[in-house]
Every structure is written in C-alpha cells, then in structure tokens.
Structure 1
Amino acid sequence: MSSRRPELLGYFYISVASLIWGSNGVIVNKVSLDAFTIAFLRVLFATIILSPFQLVRRNEAFKAVKAWKSIIALGACLSLGWTLLFQSMKLITIASAVLLNYVAPVFVAFLLRERIERITIVSLTLCIAGMILISYEQGFGNLNALGVVLGLFAGLSYASFIIISKMTVANYSGLTVAFYSYLMCAIFLLPLFLRGINLPESLESWILVILLGVFNTAFAVTLYMKGLSMVKAQKAIIFTYLEPAGAVVFGYFFLTQVPTLLMIIGGLLILLASYLVASER
C-alpha cells in the first residue's frame, strides 16, 4: 500500500480539482457577464494570486522561463480551447459542445507515448458512456457541422494542454506551471476582453468572479498539476470526468436543477471508472 501512496494521492488531487471545476457552471450562471470576460477575469485573478508565490520561489520561476515554448503553448491551448468551445456553444447545444470537448481524453490516450493499458480503455469507455447519459437529458438538438468541428478542436486543444502539462511538470512545480499557463492565457485573451469591456456591476458578481479565479482556477489547477506529476496521464484523464458528474451535484444544490435517472446513472458510471483505476494494483 505504501508503494502506491503517491499514486493514490495524485488521484486524490486530480479528483478534488475536477470536482471543484464542477462548480464553474453554477458561478457562471449567477454572473451576468459574457463568456470571454469571465474567462479573462478568472485567469487574471489566478495570475495575481499566484504571483507572490513566484516571488518566494523566484529561483524556480526564473528557471522555468527556459521552458518558454511550453509556457506559450499552454497559454495558447487554454485560450484557444475556451474560444473554440464558446463559439461551438453558439452553433450547437451546450450539451453537445461539452460532450465534444470531453472527447479530449480520447485524444490524450492516442497521442501519448505511454502504452495504453486495458484498464484505461475500460474506464474511458465507462466515462464516455456516463458523459453521454448526463448530456442526453439536456438535449442535443440539430447538430451544425461547423459547431461540431469547433467542439472537436476544443477537445483537441484541451488534450494538448494535458499532454504539455504532463511533460512540463516533470521539470517544474505545478504551482509554477499553473502561474505561467494563466499568465500567457490572460495575454492571449486580453484582445477579446478589450474588444468590449464589460465588468461586474454588483459586489456579489465581483466576489463570485474572484472566487472563480482564486479557488476554482489558481488553487484547483495547481492541485491538478501536482496530481498530474504523480500519475500516468492516461489514468489522470479518467478522473477529469468527475467534473461533469460534480456539475450535476452542484446544479442540484445551488440551482435546484434536479438530476434525472439517466444523469444519476451517468454519474455512477464515471465514479465506477474512477474506482477501477484507483483500485488497480
């Protein structure tokens, strides 16, 4: 058991991060801002809150600049992924766009140089089935070809972010990688934000946006990066499916969105997949 402790701890970190991300929809639902403004403000506050830690760890922070190509790539993957996902949501239903975005783990499984294990294939199949059941109740509508393509490329961008992150955290701490990722993402999203500046109008909205940036972004991503450095990427991706499952739970408690039987079954399939990976010896 002791030999697996770091691996199990890594799964725990990724699970907690994914469940935190599951609350993103609740926060976005309660903030009357466009998607690009929310995306920019969340990475801006994440960058600000992580800056003092980089001053304390400035030796590593300066050292990490050597990985500038990876840093730029991470920022580009995040900003491009969000942009494509938001545009996809305008052309097809949100359920369809989110489902296509969560094809990302499939891309990761095939793009990685790791040998794909049987448990990964089984668990990934369960996760995709669970995701389909969760999304089905929200309706898929008439699929627009461009919307589908944009959704798939959003998933590919997300997959690229996971792979590059995995390679980068092998040499630098998750805290440092998260800081530079969001700094670059903020730079890439700045032109979209400036195109139509729209700031929160109420104190509650400001608090929610800051919470989104500090807790759901800075803290959760640092936790995710830490976990990613402790486990195989192909297994880490299984636990990211806890995000949509968590979104159903948060929606029930904070938005009174009662989950249907299919949603509950979908969530249980995702939990089963996570258990299979975590319990494998």
Structure 2
Amino acid sequence: MLHNRYTSYQLGIFSILFASVLWGTTGTVASLAPDVSSLAIGAFSMGVGGLFQALLSRKQLRDDFKKILIHKRKLAVSAIALAVYPLAFYSSMRLAGVAIGTVISIATAPFFAVMLECLFSKGKSITKKWLLSFSVGITGIMLLVFSESSAIHTVNNLRLIGILLGLMAGLFYAVYSWVAKALIEQGIQSQSALGCIFGFGSLILLPTLLVTGDNLFASATNILVVGYMALIPMGLGYIAYGFGLRFVTASSASLITLFEPVVAAALAVVIVGESIPMLGWSGIGLILICLLIQVKAGSHL
C-alpha cells in the first residue's frame, strides 16, 4: 500500500515535470511572433487551450456535473484567476524581460500556494522539507536571474510594472491550482476539475481578442506560434499537470514548476544563441536539487 502511494507520488511529480518542460518552451516560441501583443498571445493560447481542455473532458464533466455545482463559488474565483494569469504573465515577460518575468511569476507561485493551503485547507501545514526545498529553489532562481544580462536594458519603470505583473501572475496561478486541487480532493475527477476551470476561463479570455488580436493571423509564423501555444503547452501541458495534481499538493506542484525557467534558459542557449554565465548554471543546479528534495519528500508515503 505504501509502495503504491509512493509510486503514485512519483508519477504525479514526473507528470508535472513534463508539463513544466512544455511550458518552458513558451517564451522562446512567443518571441518568434514579435508583432503579436503579449495580451493576445496569452488570451489566445489559454483561451483556445481552455476550450480544448473542456472538450476533452466533456464526458467527465457530465459525470461530475452535480458535484461541480456544489463548488460554483470556487469555480467562479478560479475561472477569473485563470483569465487574469496569462494576461499578467505574458505582459510581465514583455515589460520586464523573458527571464525576469518568467522567474518572478513562477518563483512566487509556491509561496502563494502554500499560504492558500495553510489558510483554507484543513490539516495542511508548512513542512521542514517544503521550506528547505523552497529556500534552495528560490536561491537557484535568483542566481539564474542575476546571471542574466538581457533584462538590464529594460526601462526601469516598465521593468517595475513587469515585476508587479509577475507577482500578480504568481498569485493567480496559485489560486486556480489550489482550487483545482481542492475540487479533486472533493472527489471530482482531475479532467473535470481543470476542464470546468479552463472552460469558463476561456469564455472570459477569448472576447478580449477583439481588442488585442491585431496581427494574430497575419502570417503563417504567427498562426503556427499561437496554434502551438494553445494545443501543446496549454492543452497537453495542463492535461499532464491536472493528472499530477491527483497525487501532489498544489504547493509542491508549484515548487516542481520551478523547472520551467531551467528549460527556458536551456532553449535560450540552444535555439536563441544566448549564453549563461557560471552563476546561472549554479542556479540551475540548485533548482535541480530543489526538485530532487520534492521527489524524495514522498519516500515516507
């Protein structure tokens, strides 16, 4: 029994790691369509990805419909959080730089997630292993950020706004992740939980394209970029993430997604041709140690 729980925990971690790898490609791919606004990329990718999620989970949604109605307030809050998250996240990357925007958004999410769990989830508390993992991961993230020189050229005022938007993105990411986990713990299937959150969130996001969607389909490259973003990181990635949430807490899942900036940095080196100083590689090493602590954290299960 204990062995099965540990195996399930590891499977959940690897599912979230897989999602993080897909999400780590978004910054590089989005940079291929510079004439499309960050708001449009966020709204289209998460909006269409949300409809894709809802479509794939329609059977589970029918089965869990009555259970979902009981939690309609949580669903409303999570749908709004989901809609705000990509707008804040992609705007943060555009204003503060890809590295800073990504790191602030992802690095603050574990803190907000564990606060939500402690405030609203019964029996949940901050463990020593979580604090150790968080400390190591945040140190690694900061080393990676400070090693980046690209964000230095961003105008200071815009950079500050980008950082604030990154904090907003981290908070709203934690909110809809916590709600999804709470729904799953109430006996709702993971596909149903994410399907309903993403489905309603997409209804909020897609209308914003009427204002922000200039040049969205102006070229084949733009079409390929937004199509990839919607179907792969936002579609397939969140299917894997929802599966992982069945076995991993929202706060631990948020820590595991610290792997996303590592992927983003590696792609910047391999594809964009950027270089990472030794300080940055040290940060990547600490992030990997953070992930290892999370994997080992389930060894007592």
Fold shared, TM-score > 0.5 on shorter chain: yes
Among candidates 110, 115, 133, match of residue 123 of structure 1:
133
Q: In the aligned structure 2, how far is the partner of 1:51 from the partner of 1:156? A: 23
| 1:63 to partner: Cα distance | 3.6
Question: In the TM superposition, what are the counterparts of 1:110-259 in structure 2 within 5 Å?
Answer: 110-113=115-118, 114-139=124-149, 141=152, 142=156, 147-170=162-185, 171-198=187-214, 199-259=216-276
1:3–1:85 CA distance, 2 compared to 1 (3 A): closer
Note the residue ranges of structure 2 that are not aligned, 5 or more in a row: 119-123
Among candidates 28, 53, 56, match of residue 50 of structure 1:
53
Given residue 190 of structure 2, which amino acid in structure 1 is its aligned partner? G
| 1:224 to partner: Cα distance | 0.7
Q: In the aligned structure 1, how far is the partner of 2:277 from the partner of 2:225? A: 28
Q: Is the 8 A contact 2:54 2:198 kept in 1?
A: no
Q: In the aligned structure 1, how far is the partner of 2:91 from the partner of 2:225? A: 24
Given residue 227 of structure 2, which amino acid in structure 1 is its aligned partner? I
Given residue 187 of structure 1, which amino acid in structure 2 is its aligned partner? L
| 1:89 to partner: Cα distance | 5.0
Q: Is the 8 A contact 1:95 1:136 kept in 2?
A: no
1:88–1:40 CA distance, 2 compared to 1 (3 A): closer
Q: Is the 8 A contact 1:77 1:160 kept in 2?
A: yes
| 1:107 to partner: Cα distance | 1.8
1:86–1:60 CA distance, 2 compared to 1 (3 A): same
Per the alignment, residue 295 of structure 2 pairs with: 278
Question: In the TM superposition, what are the counterparts of 1:82-121 in structure 2 within 5 Å?
Answer: 82-89=86-93, 92-101=96-105, 102-113=107-118, 114-121=124-131
Per the alignment, residue 36 of structure 1 pairs with: 39
| 1:236 to partner: Cα distance | 2.0
| 1:145 to partner: Cα distance | 5.7
Q: In the aligned structure 1, how far is the partner of 2:162 from the partner of 2:97? A: 9
Q: How many residues align?
A: 281
TM, length-normalised to structure 1 = 0.88
| 1:228 to partner: Cα distance | 1.1
Q: CA RMSD in A?
A: 2.4
| 1:166 to partner: Cα distance | 1.2
Q: Is the 8 A contact 2:142 2:283 kept in 1?
A: yes
1:99–1:248 CA distance, 2 compared to 1 (3 A): closer
Per the alignment, residue 74 of structure 1 pairs with: 78
Cα shift readout 1:16-60 (whole Å, capped 9, x = no counterpart)? 111110011111011231111111221233234334433444522
TM, length-normalised to structure 2 = 0.83
Q: In the aligned structure 1, how far is the partner of 2:54 from the partner of 2:201? A: 15
SS at match of 2:57: helix
Q: In the aligned structure 2, how far is the partner of 1:262 from the partner of 1:152? A: 24
Given residue 135 of structure 1, which amino acid in structure 2 is its aligned partner? V
| 1:132 to partner: Cα distance | 0.8
1:64–1:25 CA distance, 2 compared to 1 (3 A): farther
| 1:14 to partner: Cα distance | 0.8
| 1:86 to partner: Cα distance | 4.4
1:250–1:174 CA distance, 2 compared to 1 (3 A): farther
